[in-house]
Structure 1
Amino acid sequence: MKYHLIDNKLFIKNRKNFTAKMKPSSLAVFNSNDIYPISADSTMPFEQHRDIFYLSGVDQEESILVLFPDCPKEKHREILFLKETNEHIAVWEGEKLTKEAAYKTSGIKTVYWLKDMEKVMFELMTQCDTVYINTNEHYRASVETETREDRFTKWLKDEYPAHAVAKSNPILQRLRSVKDKIELDLIQQACDITEKGFRRVLGFVKPGVWEYEIEAEFMHE
């Protein structure tokens, strides 16, 4: 579904609020969700991890956000790692974020391709003492699938066992429970669209109308 670009001031503010709660000399890492297979070469529609979206606005697979507010290099205090794109990928897989588009979306100036992640992470890890990992700690969570976040956390702990580990989730739970005005306006816009859809459907439903026809009317609105 088409949607308008969200003002990146929201994501800039969200990152500022999050990093203000971090321990000194620490960095935090957030990963995109996987694209999950169905069978053969079929996959489920991609659904972004809510936390990386909350902090960056990036709605794309194979993306990583790193926040390191105390980094000696200013350009490495906020970093995005993205899947490299080109004209061939745009044709066969669909348009992906360029470095320029990623900056416009997130407000993050430093964007690397994913192939550079391990090299850059090595440099960052020599400059910090604590790593914030993002785990699912919802009290109703019952996840059997190993997520991209889980795999990254295992890799990080294996590669850098001497670093202390902290949890991002408690910070995010507190921050996300209070909505910014931009968020409230977006929620209201979504409510308005939904209301119009239901009102359109109410005038369309009658005997002999099929579900897919109702869906088409709703989506059109």
Structure 2
Amino acid sequence: MKYKPIDKLLFVKNRKKFIAHMQSNSLAIFNSNDIYPISADSTMPFEQHRDIFYLSGVDQEESVLVLFPDCPKEKHREILFLKETNKHIAIWEGEKLTKEKAFETSGIKTVYWLQDMEKVLFEIMTQCDTVYINTNEHYRANVEVETREARFTKWLKEKYPAHRVGKSNPILQRLRSVKEDIEIELMQKACDITEKGFRRVLSFVKPDVWEYEIEAEFVHEFLRNRSKGFAYTPIIASGNNANVLHYVENNQQCKAGDLILFDVAAEYGNYSSDLSRTIPVSGKYSERQKAVYNAVLRVKNKATKMLVPGTLWADYHVEVGKIMTSELLGLGLLDKADLKNENPDWPAYKKYFMHGTSHHIGLDTHDYGILTEPIQANMVFTVEPGIYIPEEGFGIRLEDDVVIQKSGEPYNLMRNIPIEVEEIEDIMNS
């Protein structure tokens, strides 16, 4: 891995938190992701399933974690099953976790090779009543392929049909949404790498550069700072491209006088950052661009202050909508007739600001979190309002990542990344 070793105490603590929510005499199983084929002998780059990583720190394929806190055999209360490694595998595929290295990474003492799993699993399944399976219940999930986790769950339920089944995901939704200090440090590192990329790009952008050239500048800076690269598919949207919310082609030339909307950020140690900035291709905003930009910035600043413990996510978005409506009236994009005739289910402001303002962020860019429950301290959210005006040929989005505090305003992990109009113009023209 490119990232530096993570203190195994994080994973030890995460397992203890999960185990505290398990029923008595129950067992939980977590699988790594597959390596997905492209064609011939080509594959997608491996990405570890975030849940097994959260609970073990293991970041390789063909890995299985079993938690059985009430097991009669103490050695089987935490088990890792790993793909066997040897000198031949090391030569052809690179270094894999040894049993000793797996303990250093996870704090789990009992490690078996994967070929022993069915035998060991039969023994411990006869000793438990309930088995927790791990399903994807994220509110944005849209899974069309059969995952390794899903295949394993199907096999497990067919082989052991008499066991009660529990669900890991509701537990993980709550646990993963509230970050430990080590996790926040990792996210700060991702944000710091993102800052380096953004500052590099501010010095690079000029009329007639191509969006993909800017993308290359970002990834260069990310990789040289121990990131795997982008936390999500990058958006480098110049001119009217910014009005396509998930524009990812990044293949157009940036014209003088246009704006470029960036939604691009680095990961570090599997933790995400999520940044949006909008800069002028020519190094200076027009008066109209500046007016819209500062309106978005005011909405972002006011919305950030509202993210405090006890706030409900849905209520927060209603209030942000009111702030945005006021700004759109001031910009002449809405008038009183628009408000009088608006559909309550799709308020007038949605014409220019159609997406949400904030989402959980962590191991996933759109991270776990139960949105019907109040916001808590040490949750991390994005704040990302935008105004999109196709008829004027530009869109503006500004986004930072913030940590909810026990009292007072959230702590901005992107506090050092330029955002004010004057600072951006100064850097671009220096």
Could you give the per-residue CA deviations for residues 69-124 of structure 1, whole angstroms, max 9, x where no partner exists? 00011110000000000111111111111111110000000000000000000000
2:411 corresponds in structure 1 to: none
1:164 corresponds in structure 2 to: 164
State percent identity of aligned pairs.
79
Instruction: Rate the CA distance shift 1:88–1:196 in 2: closer, same or farther, 3 A.
Output: same
Q: Which deviates further from its counterpart, 191-200 or 23-32?
A: 191-200
Q: Which amino acid aligns with 2:47?
A: E
Look up the SS of the partner of 1:66 in the other structure.
strand
Instruction: Rate the CA distance shift 1:132–1:45 in 2: closer, same or farther, 3 A.
Output: same
Q: Could you tell me how far apart the structure 1 residues matched to 2:59 and 2:183 are?
A: 16
Contact kept? 1:198, 1:218, Cα under 8 Å: no
Contact kept? 2:193, 2:221, Cα under 8 Å: no
Q: Could you tell me how far apart the structure 1 residues matched to 2:221 and 2:25 are?
A: 53
Look up the SS of the partner of 1:203 in the other structure.
helix
Following superposition of structure 1 onto structure 2, how do residues 14-163 of structure 1 map, counting pairs within 5 Å? 14-163=14-163
Contact kept? 1:201, 1:217, Cα under 8 Å: no
Higher helix share: 1
Q: Could you tell me how far apart the structure 1 residues matched to 2:37 and 2:199 are?
A: 36
CA RMSD of aligned residues (A): 1.5
Instruction: Rate the CA distance shift 1:213–1:66 in 2: closer, same or farther, 3 A.
Output: closer
**Unaligned 5+ residue runs, structure 1?**
none
Q: Could you tell me how far apart the structure 1 residues matched to 2:21 and 2:48 are?
A: 24
Instruction: Rate the CA distance shift 1:115–1:205 in 2: closer, same or farther, 3 A.
Output: same
Q: Could you tell me how far apart the structure 2 residues matched to 1:201 and 1:217 are?
A: 10
Structure number with higher relative contact order (C-alpha < 8 Å, ≥ 6 residues apart): 1
Look up the SS of the partner of 2:80 in the other structure.
strand
Query: How many aligned positions are there?
Result: 221
Contact kept? 1:197, 1:218, Cα under 8 Å: yes
Look up the SS of the partner of 2:201 in the other structure.
helix
Report the TM-score when normalising by structure 1: 0.95
Could you give the per-residue CA deviations for residues 141-171 of structure 1, whole angstroms, max 9, x where no partner exists? 2211111001111111111111000000000
Does the alignment pair 1:175 with 2:179?
Answer: no
Could you give the per-residue CA deviations for residues 192-212 of structure 1, whole angstroms, max 9, x where no partner exists? 111012112322334568717
Q: Which amino acid aligns with 2:55?
A: L
Report the TM-score when normalising by structure 2: 0.50
Instruction: Rate the CA distance shift 1:40–1:165 in 2: closer, same or farther, 3 A.
Output: same
